[in-house]
Structure 1
Amino acid sequence: MQDEIIKHTKKIHSEMSNKNHSFKEKVKEILTEILIIVFAVTLSIWLHSWSEERHQHKDAQIFLTGLKEDLQNDIKNLENTRKTLNETQQQISFVLQLTPQKIDSIKANHKQINSGTNFINTVINNGRYEGFKSSGKINTIENQNLRNRVLSYYQQAIPQITLIEESYEKLTSRYVDLLISGKEDEDINITILRKKVKIILSGIDNFTKSGQKPYEEAIKQAREIIKEIEKEEK
């Protein structure tokens, strides 16, 4: 393309010094060459833009295909954590209802009391998203609705999950500290009857109840994104 422009530019220069052509003929020839150059440049820009858009579209499609797999794994991990929170809530609810008499009855029947909680740490597969976003390619997702859903999931739903798990960790760590701080020869089943322990357990109980909703919302959003991606693939 550059060679063609140079060639037509030389023709313009040559025409300007052509003594065999009248002024009108020179103007006509020069304008023709200018139009050819303008057309060539415009075509070159359009082809480059078209090629770039096509490349970006391909990058976006590859990203979305991988993102669907990431979200499917996220859903599994989020569901496992939600299940763990539900089980923890049931365990804590049971412990909160314990009395010395109930503990003696359980011991008499040679049964165990689960006085512990479950630690949670949901693995979110966000590496692909972070890389795509940091490269400035997020806007290459042409479907605006899909793009907004992806942004909402990673910038709102997932950070909320992170905050929940950080708060939950603080509560459970406090609970474990209280259990450990009991007298060395004290039965742990007696320790859990202490007022301070009961207060922490009540907090964990309420937290595990309300804390499940953000997981449900994140799972819902992930499934909606997958549906949108599958529409794009058709």
Structure 2
Amino acid sequence: MQDEIIKHTKNIYSEMNNKKHSFKEKVKEILVEILIIVFAVSLSIWLHSWSEERHEHKDAQTFLMGLKEDLQNDISNLEETKKTLDKTQKEISFALHLTPQKIDSLKANHQQINSGTNFINTSVNNGRYEGFKSSGKINTIENQKIRNKILSYYQQTIPEIAFVERAYEKLTSNYINLLLNGKEDEDINTTLLKKKTKIILSGIDNFTKEAQNDYEEAIKQAREIIKEIDEENK
């Protein structure tokens, strides 16, 4: 393309110095050469732009297919954490409503009391998203609906999950410290009956109930994005 432009530029120069042509003929020939150059440049720009758009579209599609796999893994991890929270809530609720009579009955039947000290740490697969975003390619996702849902999921929902887990860890740590800091010869069941313990248990009970909604919402959003990606690739 560059050679063609140089060629027609030389033609213009030659025509300007062509003594055989009249001024009118020179203008006509020069205009033709200029139009050819303009067309060639415009075509070159269009082809380059078209090639870039194709490349960006391909990158975006590759990203979305990889993201779908990441989201499927996220769903699995989020569901596992939600199950742990549900289990914890049931155990905490049981401990919260313990009475001396219930404890005696459990001991008589040789039953164990689960303290409900389960830890959670949801693994979120956000490396692909962060890399794509940091490269400035997020806007190459042409479907605005998908793009907005992806941004909402990673910029709002996942940070909320991280916040929930930090808060849960703090509550659980306080609870464990309370259990461990009892008198050396004190039965753990006695600690569970204390007012301070009941207050902490009540807080964890309510927290684990509410927190499950955050995980349900995250799972819902991840599934919606996967559905949109599948629709896009039909």
Fold shared per TM-score above 0.5: yes
Provide the C-alpha distance between the structure 1 equivalents of 2:98 and 2:139, rounded to a whole number of angstroms. 56
1:30 corresponds in structure 2 to: 30
Note the alpha carbon deviations across 1:192-233, whole angstroms, 9 max, x for none. 111111111110000001111111111111111101100111
Displacement of 1:85 after TM fit?
0.6
Aligned length: 234
Looking at structure 2, the residues matched to 226 and 162 of structure 1 have their Cα atoms a distance apart, in angstroms, of 22
Paired amino acid for 2:28: K
**Deviation of 1:108 (Å):** 1.1
Deviations 1:13-66 (A, max 9, x none): 111111111101110111010000000000000000000000000000000000
Partner residue, 2:232: 232
Alignment-derived partner of residue 155 in structure 1: 155
Which residue of the partner structure matches residue 207 of structure 1? 207
| Cα RMSD for the two superposed structures | 0.8
CA distance in 2, matches of 1:100, 1:114: 16
Are 1:124 and 2:124 counterparts? yes
Check conservation: 2:89, 2:116, Cα contact below 8 A: no
Which residue does the alignment assign to 1:114?
Answer: 114
Q: Which residue of 2 aligns with 1:2?
A: 2
Segments of structure 1 that go 5 or more residues without pairing to the other structure are: none
Q: How does 1:158-197 map to 2 (within 5 A)?
A: 158-197=158-197
Q: Secondary structure at the match of 2:107?
A: helix
Aligned-residue sequence identity (percent) comes to 79
> Secondary structure of 2:185's match?
coil
List, as ranges, runs of 4+ consecutive aligned residues in structure 1 with deviation greater than 4 Å: none
Aligned residues of 1:9 and 1:33 also touching (Cα < 8 A)? yes
Contact 1:115 1:189 in 2 (8 A): no
> Quick one: distance in 2 between partners of 1:124 and 1:205?
25
The whole-number CA distance in structure 1 between the counterparts of 2:158 and 2:116 is 27
Q: 1:11 offset after TM fit, Å? A: 0.8
TM-score by length of 1: 0.98
Distance in 2, matches of 1:221 and 1:115, equals 33
Query: Does residue 67 of structure 2 align to residue 72 of structure 1?
Result: no
Uncovered stretches (5+) of structure 2, i.e. residues with no partner: none
CA–CA distance in 1 between the matches of 2:184 and 2:117?
Answer: 21
- TM-aligned CA deviation for residue 116 of structure 1: 3.3
Cα deviation 1:123-150 (Å, max 9, x = unaligned): 1101000100111111111111111111
1:81 counterpart letter in structure 2: T
Letter in 2 for 1:173: S
Per the normalisation by structure 2, the TM-score is 0.98
